[in-house]
Structure 1
Amino acid sequence: MMRRIQEINGAIHNKNDLSDLLPKMGCPVELNDDDDIEIEVFPDRPDLLSHETMAKAVRSFQDGDTEVSPVEVSDSGVRITVEGDLEGVRPIIMGAIVRGVNTGNSASERDSFIQSLMDHQEKLHMTLGRKRSLASIGVHDLSKLKHPFRYETVSSDFSFQPLASEDVMSVSEILDSHPKGIEYSKLMDGLDAYPIILDSNNEVISLPPIINGNHTTVSEDTNDFFIDVTGFDEIACETCLLLVSLSLSELGGVVESVEVQDKDGSVKVTPNFGAKTYRVPNRLIEKILGMELSDSEIGGAIQRMGGILLESRTITHGSERAERWSDCVVGEREHVFSMPRWRSDIMHPVDIVEDIAIGIGYENLPDILSSVHIDASPLKSSNLHRRIRMSMRSVGLQEIQSLTLSNEGDQFKKTRWPIISEATVISNPITVDHTVLRQYIFPSLMNLLASNRHHELPQRVYELGEV
C-alpha cells in the first residue's frame, strides 16, 4: 500500500507519519511492519478502495488538493444503443473510455496492475454493488472492440466464449456450470431474457452481471480500456463508473465519454465528473461540533477532505423558521460546499459536518461535559429483552441484528403477507433495498439464511428488534 501511494503521488511519505494520518481519515492501520502498511477501509467510503483513489485522498488530506473535479472528459464518439425491453432485466447501463493508462514498466508491474484493477472491481461489487445486485462493472480491452455497441436481451440458448474459458457455452450452461454463473445465477432468477452487450462485429463484450466475453480480456499489453456498468441503482452505477475511471486517470489515463441512447431516443452522456453542491447552515456545524469556526477554518477542513468551500453568506430569503437542524433560515449564515461527485457517502448536510470534523481532527474538538446530570437505570423493557436473550442463548440460538429499513418485495411480495397497516415509505430512498420501514422481522431472517446456504446446517438464529 505505502509503496503504491508513493509511486502514484510522486512523493516519499514517512511510514510513521502515514500511519498517524490514515486513522485520522477513518482508515485504521491493522499492520505496520518494515515492508508495508495494512489498513482497513469501511464500506461507507468506497472512494478509498483502490491504491489510486486512496493516494488521491492522502494527497488532499496532507496537502489540500484544491481541485474537486480534476478529471477532464473529452468526447470519444462511442455510442451504446439500448435495444429491446430491459426494464425488468437490468435497465441501467453507463460507459466510459480511458486511454493511455500507464500500467507499468515491467511484466511484474503490469501483472500487479491487472490484479489491483480486478481487486478494486470486486470491492466495488461487494460494497456499492451489493454483490452485483445493484451494480456490476466490466473492464475491457478497447483495442479489441469495434463501436458502436449494443445493449439488448438474448435467450438462454445464446452462446459465446466466456472469460478465461476454452469452450463456447450457452447462457443456461454458464449459469448452471461456470463458477461465476453458479455464484451469481440467483440474480437472473425468473428471467426469460438475459442482458448482453455486443460490439459492431457481434462479439460479446459482457453478460452482466455474470461474466465478460473472452474476446475483451485485459492483458499486459492493454493501455486503452472500455468500462461498462449495469444495474438497477442509478447512484451506485454512476459512483462505480466514476471511481474506476478516476482510478485509471490517476495512472495517466485520459477519460472519454460514452453516449448511451435509450430505446425512446433519449441520450445520456457518461461519465459526469461534475461536482455536487451542498448548503449547510452554520448553526448545524456549531451545534454538532460544539465550537465556533471561522470561514477559513471550515474551508481548510473541507479542503483536506477533497471539497471546496464556495461561499459563506447570510441567508436573505427563504424560510424564517427551522423545522430541522439542517434547515437554512433567513438571517442566519450558511456555507455552500462543492464536493466530488464520487463521494456517494455524502447524503445529508450532517455528512458535510462529519467531513469538517475529520478535516479539523477529532483530537482538536473541545472536551465538554454535559451540564445535565441524570442517574441512569435500566428500562423495564430492557430487563425483559435481557431475559429473552438469555433464554434464546440457553437453547443454542444466535442473535442477529438486521436493518429496520427494508423493501416491499422482501416484506410483502416474497412472503405473500398482508400489510399490517399503511407502510411507512421512505420519500427519497438511497437504494432500492431500503424503501420502507419493516413490518415483519421474518424476511430479514430468510435473507440471512439465503446468504448463508454454503454453511453447514442447522443454522439456529433469531432476532429481537423493532418493527
Structure 2
Amino acid sequence: MPTITLSHSMMRRIQEINGAIHNKNDLSDLLPKMGCPVELNDDDDIEIEVFPDRPDLLSHETMAKAVRSFQDGDTEVSPVEVSDSGVRITVEGDLEGVRPIIMGAIVRGVNTGNSASERDSFIQSLMDHQEKLHMTLGRKRSLASIGVHDLSKLKHPFRYETVSSDFSFQPLASEDVMSVSEILDSHPKGIEYSKLMDGLDAYPIILDSNNEVISLPPIINGNHTTVSEDTNDFFIDVTGFDEIACETCLLLVSLSLSELGGVVESVEVQDKDGSVKVTPNFGAKTYRVPNRLIEKILGMELSDSEIGGAIQRMGGILLESRTITHGSERAERWSDCVVGEREHVFSMPRWRSDIMHPVDIVEDIAIGIGYENLPDILSSVHIDASPLKSSNLHRRIRMSMRSVGLQEIQSLTLSNEGDQFKKTRWPIISEATVISNPITVDHTVLRQYIFPSLMNLLASNRHHELPQRVYELGEV
C-alpha cells in the first residue's frame, strides 16, 4: 500500500481556508476508521497507509476534504464550480497509436502560502501528489501522466501534435537545449520512462501559441512552464491511454488546488475530427442499490436516515429511497433491483473511480457506520476444513519445480487480447471471456494462456542477469 506523510501545519492551513479546524490528535482515531492505518503521528507529521483503491486520499488537500466529510457529514458531493476559461487545446496529427487521450484544466488564484517556507511546502506536496498518482492510477505513467504548469508563462490556444526525434527544446530543470532522442537517451527522466516510447517514430508534444514547449508527455515538461513560489495560476494537462485514469487524475489535481481557494476553469479539447470535449467534468455519478443487498452484506436493518448519514460521511448523498414499481420482477444477481423491493439512489463524487459496483457503495456505508458497530454474527453452518485433492497435486508440482531451480510467479488472471492472441499468434481456444466494464486497457479478458504472462515478466526483467528460470501454476 502507498505510504504518505502529511504535514500537520499544511493540513491545518487547508482546513482553515475551508472553515474547519485541524486536530492532529483526532486523526489517530479517525483515519483508521476511514481505512487508513496510522504508522506515525508526531508533532510535525502524520504517516499513514492508503489502500491502492483510494487514490483520492493521496494528497494533503484531498485527505483534508475526506476528513471534513467523515467528521461533519459534508453534504456537498460536487462543491467544485467550473467556469469557462476560453482556453482550447487543438489535437493535430495522428496520435491514435502514440498517446491518444488529452485533457486539461485551469485553476486560478491558488493560495500557495503566506511565506517562502509555506510556498515551498506546497510545491513539494504538489510534486509528491503527482508522482503518487503516476504510480497508482497512471501505472507508472503508462496509462496516464500529469503535467502542472505556470499559466502566466503560456499563451493559448494550445496544440497537441507529434514531432520527430530531432525536435529540440529545453526540458525542465535543464540548462541545455536537447533533442527528443537526447532526452530519451541521457536525461534521467528520459532514461526512466523511455520504454513507454519504444517503437514510436513520432512523439507527442504540447505547444502554446508561441511554439513554446509545454510538455513532452509522459516524459518531462518544458523548462519554460516551471512552477515557482510566485505561481498562483495553473494549467494542468493529462495525457494517456485510459479514459477513466486520465479523468480521475485531472479531477484530483484540480480538486487539490481548489481546496486551497483556487477557481477551476474548463478547457476545450478539439479533436482532429472536429469534435469538442470540455474538461474537467465534476458532475457527480448516480448509483442504484437495492436495500436487500445492504441488509444481506451488513447483516442488519438500517433506516433511510442511517444510510443517508453513513454515505454523507463518505462524501456522498442519498438522493432517494423508493419502492420499485416497474422493471424486472426477478433478481438475477444480488445487485439487481426488482419490482416490489426498496432501492436507494446515491450520488457520489466523480473522482471516486474506485466505485464500480453497488457493493462498493455498501462498503462505504459500512465504513460510514463504523465496522465496530456492525453486528457479530456466527456462522450457522460448522464445517471441518480438509485439503482439496487438487491442493496435494499442486503442492507436489511446486516441490518438483523448486527442486530443479525454478521460481514460481503469480500473475493476474486478467489479461488483454493483444498479449493473449496477437503477440503470440495463438488461436482463441474457445470464446474469450471479455470484461464488460474494464478499468484499464491491460485487463479486458480472462486469460486463456499463461505463457504471455511469463513473457511479460521476462520483458520487464531484461536488465537482470540470465538465466531467469520461472514458472507459473495458475488458472486459465
2:253 is paired with a residue whose SS is helix
Deviations 1:291-346 (A, max 9, x none): 11000000000000000000000001110111011111011000000000000000
Aligned equivalents of 1:208, 1:358: Cα separation in 2: 38
State the match for 1:377 in structure 2.
386
State the match for 1:75 in structure 2.
84
Greater mean deviation of Cα atoms: 259-268 or 270-279? 259-268
* Contact persistence 2:12–2:22 (CA under 8 A): no
The CA deviation at 1:364 is: 0.8
Judged with a 3 Å threshold, the aligned counterparts in structure 2 of structure 1 residues 421 and 314 are, in CA distance, closer, same or farther, namely: same
Aligned equivalents of 1:28, 1:218: Cα separation in 2: 33
Deviations 1:338-386 (A, max 9, x none): 0000000000111000100110111111111111122221100011112
Aligned equivalents of 1:131, 1:164: Cα separation in 2: 21
Greater mean deviation of Cα atoms: 130-139 or 392-401? 392-401
The correspondence for 2:465, drawn from 433, 456, 459, is: 456
* Contact persistence 1:322–1:328 (CA under 8 A): yes
Greater mean deviation of Cα atoms: 387-396 or 263-272? 387-396
The CA deviation at 1:411 is: 1.5
Deviations 1:379-430 (A, max 9, x none): 0001111222333344454433221100011222223333223222122222
Aligned equivalents of 2:19, 2:410: Cα separation in 1: 45
Greater mean deviation of Cα atoms: 283-292 or 180-189? 180-189
Judged with a 3 Å threshold, the aligned counterparts in structure 2 of structure 1 residues 293 and 250 are, in CA distance, closer, same or farther, namely: same
Deviations 1:217-269 (A, max 9, x none): 11111110000011111111110000000000001100000011111111111
Deviations 1:427-455 (A, max 9, x none): 22221011111112222223233334455
Greater mean deviation of Cα atoms: 395-404 or 160-169? 395-404
* Contact persistence 2:17–2:261 (CA under 8 A): no
1:386 is paired with a residue whose SS is helix
Judged with a 3 Å threshold, the aligned counterparts in structure 2 of structure 1 residues 8 and 441 are, in CA distance, closer, same or farther, namely: farther
Aligned equivalents of 1:62, 1:455: Cα separation in 2: 49
Judged with a 3 Å threshold, the aligned counterparts in structure 2 of structure 1 residues 110 and 453 are, in CA distance, closer, same or farther, namely: farther
Judged with a 3 Å threshold, the aligned counterparts in structure 2 of structure 1 residues 22 and 393 are, in CA distance, closer, same or farther, namely: farther
Where do 5+ consecutive residues of structure 2 fail to align?
A: 1-9
Greater mean deviation of Cα atoms: 19-28 or 3-12? 3-12
The correspondence for 1:152, drawn from 140, 144, 161, is: 161
2:306 is paired with a residue whose SS is helix
Deviations 1:166-188 (A, max 9, x none): 11111111111111111111111
Judged with a 3 Å threshold, the aligned counterparts in structure 2 of structure 1 residues 141 and 229 are, in CA distance, closer, same or farther, namely: same
* Contact persistence 1:5–1:54 (CA under 8 A): no
The CA deviation at 1:154 is: 1.1
1:176 is paired with a residue whose SS is helix
1:287 is paired with a residue whose SS is helix
Aligned equivalents of 2:64, 2:18: Cα separation in 1: 6
* Identity percentage of aligned residues: 100
* Contact persistence 1:8–1:55 (CA under 8 A): no
1:103 is paired with a residue whose SS is coil
Cα RMSD for the two superposed structures = 1.7
Deviations 1:176-219 (A, max 9, x none): 11111111111111212111111000101111111111111111
Greater mean deviation of Cα atoms: 25-34 or 78-87? 25-34
1:183 is paired with a residue whose SS is helix
Q: TM-score, length-normalised on structure 2?
A: 0.95
* Contact persistence 1:90–1:195 (CA under 8 A): yes
* Contact persistence 2:14–2:260 (CA under 8 A): no
Aligned equivalents of 2:207, 2:457: Cα separation in 1: 36
Deviations 1:90-112 (A, max 9, x none): 11111000001111111121111
Aligned equivalents of 2:178, 2:242: Cα separation in 1: 29
* Contact persistence 1:4–1:51 (CA under 8 A): no
The CA deviation at 1:33 is: 3.2
Q: TM-score, length-normalised on structure 1?
A: 0.96
Judged with a 3 Å threshold, the aligned counterparts in structure 2 of structure 1 residues 440 and 8 are, in CA distance, closer, same or farther, namely: farther
Aligned residues: 467
Aligned equivalents of 2:370, 2:406: Cα separation in 1: 42
